[in-house]
Structure 1
Amino acid sequence: MISRTKKVVRSVAVAFAAAAAFTMTVPTGSAFAIDHVPCRGGENFLKIWSHNGGQQSVDCYANRGRISFGGWWVDKISTGNNDLIYYDANGDSVKIERWHEISFPNRPPRVNAIEIL
């Protein structure tokens, strides 16, 4: 009986040590990464209308994360089901909550990065 108890205790100890080693070696952090996705009607992606140097663009993003926006001027933002922070060229960060649509007809911000929360 003592032999069986020792085996069980040893097995539990080995399992615990393996779990602890795995926990310490696997990086922690978010498993999410922001993705540039095709804009499709009916989807609730973050959607940004922008322009820069005579070019215009409409871009959609999904999933949590932060990505460079390249200093483009933003004309309109539709957050869909995403909370957003954009980081402008003046060093400001602006949070916009989900389900909002904002237009910047007169003074569009120049955005260096966007982050979906």
Structure 2
Amino acid sequence: MISKGKRTVGSLAMALSAAAAFTVAVPSGTAFAIDHIQCVGGENYLKIWSHLNGRQSVDCYANAGKTDFGGWWVDRISTGNNDLIYYDANGDSVKIERWHDITFPNRPPKVRAIQIL
């Protein structure tokens, strides 16, 4: 017959083992899922006007995360209700706070990635 103390210790060890296994199996932190979305007038999404090799584009993004921007030259950024970091081709990262609308008429940055915080 197993004593009550040994069963308690065994149960506690099993619970700790299960908790450790669960911690390893489930990643911690925030899940990032930035989405390239259709631009809709009146919405407060991140909106970026850009150009590359004679083509122009207007793109909108929602939700926190980071995505590749392909080295396009950025002419204008409207952050809407998003804090943004863009990573340029020179290796710099630039943070732009929410509710800003910035244009780059003379020297547009060549952006390799964007991140909504």
The TM-score bracket by the shorter chain reads 0.7 to 0.9
- Cα RMSD of the aligned pairs, angstroms, is 2.1
Distance 1:13 1:76, change over 3 A: same
Task: Please state how far the C-alpha of 1:89 moved relative to its aligned partner.
Answer: 1.3
Aligned residues between the structures: 116
TM-score (norm 1): 0.84
Aligned-partner SS, 2:95: strand
Question: What are structure 1's unaligned runs of at least 5 residues?
Answer: none
Question: Structure 2 matches for 1:101-116, cutoff 5 A?
Answer: 101-116=101-116
Q: Alignment identity in percent?
A: 74
Runs of 4+ in structure 1 deviating by more than 3 angstroms, as ranges, are: 3-17
Task: For 1:72, give the aligned amino acid.
Answer: W
* 1:73 equivalenced with 2:73 (yes/no): yes
Question: What are structure 2's unaligned runs of at least 5 residues?
Answer: none
User: CA offsets per residue over residues 29-54 of structure 1, 9 Å max, x none?
Assistant: 32121111111122211100001111
Work out the CA distance in 1 between the residues paired with 2:10 and 2:77: 58
Give the structure 1 partner of residue 30 of structure 2.
Answer: 30
Work out the CA distance in 2 between the residues paired with 1:4 and 1:99: 63
Task: For 1:21, give the aligned amino acid.
Answer: A
Task: Please state how far the C-alpha of 1:27 moved relative to its aligned partner.
Answer: 2.1
Task: For 1:85, give the aligned amino acid.
Answer: I
